[in-house]
Amino acid sequence: MLVWLALTLASNPAAAQTTTSYSNTTSGTISESATPCISPMVRNFTVAANAQITDVNIGVQLTHTYRGDLRATLVSPSGTVVNLITNIGTSADNLNVLFDDSAAASVTTHTANDSTAAAPPYQRTFRPQGSLAGFNGEAAAGTWQLTICDSLNGDSGAFTRSDLTLTTVPLTPYADLSLTKSVSNAAPAFGASINYVLSVTNAAASPLTATGVTVQDTLPAGFAFTSASGFGSYNSATGVWTVGSIPPGVTRTLTISGTVAATAGASVTNIGEISASAAFDPDSSPGNGTAAEDDQDSASFTVSGTRIAGTPPTLVCPVGMTIYDWDSVSWAAGTTSDSQSLTAIGTANFNIAISGGAFLSNATYGGQSPTRQNVVTGGLSPAQYSIFQLVDFSSQAGIVTSTITLPTAVPGAQFRLFDVDYASGQFADRVTVTGTYNGVPVYPLLTNGTANYVIGNSAYGDVLSADGSPDGTVVVTFQAPVDSITIEYGSHALAPTNPGQQGMALHDISFCRPVGNLAIAKTSSIVSDPVNGTANPKAIPGAIMRYCLLVTNNGSATATGIAVADPLPATLAFVPGSLRSGTTCASATTVEDDNAAGADEGDPFGAAFAGTSVSASTASLGPAAAMALVFNATVN
């Protein structure tokens, strides 16, 4: 049974608020079998009149032993979800609560039994676990949904009633915006030029000009940006199209141009959504990610052409490379972490972790996985060893994460992944590879085999490849410095709900050997002069100058035994006691004496003045590290 009651509040007519209540008294059983959280009880409230939400309250009454079993949410017509209660109340019975953001206490403090006496009024008032203010600004019209589920076994109850109260103001004035998106070619070839066209329209019936309009259009991997043209401005790094104002009945258009960077068979989807507008929109909420609203649209293309195995780039190493060869090292079956020595690099740490599945043991593939084996070979002849990860994933979300942490950054790296493929109804492999350098993400170039396609730094299997075939091979190439590499192995959308057994192997890794690259910069400033003091000083005789020598290691190897000398010209006289050191010119505040002896020479930088020359030294500078030396001199 569904009834409703409307009450108009007396207030300023120019900003009149209306409070309307909607009730649902349709009974029903609440238990782990009748209403599990994968199929909860849903109670609907149909709101016909459209208005803008300013406040939402909801009362819920039900019987249930052990209230801590229950979860409840409220969902708006726009798709916004607010958590009312999640497993709160432990062994207390029943629920007779009005959820109101303005209540003094949170429902998380509610541990007493509730009454079964008829509501409303509701016995107690609490703030929900989420915030009902999340609905403010949305349009009221449509179907609101209260969901209730029982997340634990052993207790049950029944739904009694719920009352949804909406406080609203009239929709006008408003600007009804909509977004459409299209792609110029739905089946382009790899490397082809394509355009995305985005159009934002303010409906002709809108009373307002929309201002402050922006659109979020983050470009997908598989599309390489080249330019943008049209109304407003587009930032390809942030994906934000700044549109500005749109009068009623006007459409603003942007064309984003680029090239296809995904390989044949790849499907690439680009989603755009209006992310901001100063005006209220009656049928959508900017930036809420709801695909059903008219302020969001998407465009997709599938890369055409006959797939061939890509040609990976040649790894160029300035001072040579170190190859980590699985043929020459040991790896005990089932090992998930190890340390390995890399020539000219140091000790690297290998770690393999799994979630959403389990490693399998199979004698054909070397026993308990992860293990070293030479059955899955990527077509290499003679067969070579690699580390094989044979897993049983229980869902598409299962993942194996392999992390290689290096003691110092390397200028580049390259390796093969074997057997990234697909078997219909059984599994669909996906690998995603990323690196880091000083905590900043570094993305490699992936080169596909004929059994997989590449989008950005991910490869997706879509054809079956045999254990000894090169078809499932993916080549990973880092062409920029990295100090860690992470390989995520899992499933993609073609996989069944329970993928079961699948496997992927990591072959030999080629590391470019680290190389230092020191750069020095010298800057100066005027501290004071004998005429103007410190106020707008000039470089005249008697002026005090401050100099900074900044040495930076821009390479990937630790540089050692660093020494710098700066001979002063006859026109300058060193100011004794002015030497300071640090890691930047601004932070060079560590006092250094003028001689080249004592503890200050290794704290960690040393400095001295002898004859007419200023010098600085340090035992080492790691990648991206810097040494700064500051001193004063008088103009003669």
Q: What is the pLDDT of residues 360-374, one digit of tens each?
A: 999 999 999 999 999
CATH number, domain with residue 393: 2.60.120
Is 461 found in the same domain as 352? yes
pLDDT number for residue 292: 86
Average pLDDT for 190-217:
96
CATH number, domain with residue 66: 2.60.120.260
Q: What is the pLDDT of residues 75-101, one digit of tens each?
A: 999 889 999 999 999 899 999 999 999
Is 138 found in the same domain as 6? yes
Task: Determine the Cα angle at 288 with ends 284 and 289, to 5°.
Answer: 105
Residue 127 contacts by C-beta under 8 Å, 6 or more apart in sequence?
99, 100, 101, 102, 103, 105, 106, 107
* pLDDT-derived band at 170, boundaries 50, 70, 90: confident
The total number of structural domains that make up the chain: 4
pLDDT number for residue 557: 80
Whether the pLDDT of residue 158 is over 80: the answer is yes
Cα torsion at 339, 340, 342, 348 (round to 10°)?
-20
- Examine residue 227 and state whether it is found in any structural domain, yes or no: yes
Whether the pLDDT of residue 541 is over 80: the answer is yes
* pLDDT-derived band at 9, boundaries 50, 70, 90: very low
Tokens of 590: 């560590």
**Domain termination site, one of 302, 330, 361:** 302
Residue 407 contacts by C-beta under 8 Å, 6 or more apart in sequence?
345, 346, 347, 348
Is 462 found in the same domain as 377? yes
Is 534 found in the same domain as 447? no
**Separation between Cα atoms, residue 103 and residue 95, nearest integer Å:** 16
What percentage of residues in the chain have a pLDDT greater than 70? 98
Is 186 found in the same domain as 126? no
- Examine residue 310 and state whether it is found in any structural domain, yes or no: no
- Examine residue 202 and state whether it is found in any structural domain, yes or no: yes
pLDDT number for residue 554: 85
Average pLDDT for 452-481:
96
- Residue of 178, 174, 194 whose CA lies nearest to 272: 178
SS (H, E, C) 277-337: CCCCCCCCCCCCCCCCCCCEEEEEEECECCCCCCCCCCCCCCCCEEEECHHHCCCCCCCCE
Tokens of 303: 């890369």
Q: Encode burial over 448-475: b for 16+ CB neighbours within 10 A, e otherwise.
A: bbbbbbbbbbbbbbbbebebbbbbbbbb
Peptide bond into 120 cis (omega under 30): yes
* pLDDT-derived band at 510, boundaries 50, 70, 90: very high
Average pLDDT for 322-343:
94
Is 529 found in the same domain as 501? no
Q: Encode burial over 114-138: b for 16+ CB neighbours within 10 A, e otherwise.
A: beeeebeebbbbbbbbbebebbeeb
Q: What is the pLDDT of residues 239-266, one digit of tens each?
A: 999 999 999 999 999 999 999 999 999 9
Report whether 76 contacts 288 (CB < 8 A). Answer: no
Structural domain boundaries enclosing 154? 2-169
- Examine residue 309 and state whether it is found in any structural domain, yes or no: no
Per DSSP (E only), the strands in 421-499 are 422-423, 427-437, 440-442, 445-447, 452-455, 458-461, 474-478, 482-491
pLDDT number for residue 422: 97
Average pLDDT for 527-551:
96
Is 106 found in the same domain as 74? yes
* pLDDT-derived band at 171, boundaries 50, 70, 90: confident
Whether the pLDDT of residue 143 is over 70: the answer is yes
Tokens of 332: 């005990």
* pLDDT-derived band at 290, boundaries 50, 70, 90: confident
- Examine residue 291 and state whether it is found in any structural domain, yes or no: yes
- Examine residue 312 and state whether it is found in any structural domain, yes or no: no
pLDDT number for residue 623: 83
What percentage of residues in the chain have a pLDDT greater than 90? 88
pLDDT number for residue 237: 95
Average pLDDT for 385-403:
96
Q: Which of 7-21, 256-270, 542-556, 563-577 has the lowest mean pLDDT?
A: 7-21
pLDDT number for residue 91: 93
pLDDT number for residue 13: 36
**Separation between Cα atoms, residue 175 and residue 208, nearest integer Å:** 5
* pLDDT-derived band at 105, boundaries 50, 70, 90: very high
**Domain termination site, one of 271, 302, 333:** 302
What DSSP line would sit under 178-191, residue for residue? Answer: EEEEEES-SSPBTT
Q: Which of 8-12, 27-31, 303-307, 451-455 has the lowest mean pLDDT?
A: 8-12
Q: What is the pLDDT of residues 396-407, one digit of tens each?
A: 999 999 999 999
- Examine residue 316 and state whether it is found in any structural domain, yes or no: no
- Examine residue 472 and state whether it is found in any structural domain, yes or no: yes
* pLDDT-derived band at 2, boundaries 50, 70, 90: very low
**Separation between Cα atoms, residue 308 and residue 149, nearest integer Å:** 51
CA dihedral for 528, 530, 533, 538, sign (positive or negative): negative
Is 408 found in the same domain as 368? yes
Q: What is the CA radius of gyration of the chain?
A: 33
Average pLDDT for 513-525:
92
0.85 exceeded by the pTM? no
Is 562 found in the same domain as 464? no
pLDDT number for residue 1: 35
Is 164 found in the same domain as 187? no
The residue ranking higher by pLDDT, 15 or 359, is 359
Tokens of 461: 């299997």
CATH number, domain with residue 564: 2.60.40.740
Is 213 found in the same domain as 151? no
How much is the mean pLDDT over the chain? 94
**Separation between Cα atoms, residue 214 and residue 51, nearest integer Å:** 24
Is 325 found in the same domain as 297? no
How far the first Cα of the chain sits from its last, in Å, is 97
**Domain termination site, one of 144, 169, 194:** 169
pLDDT number for residue 256: 98
pLDDT number for residue 11: 31
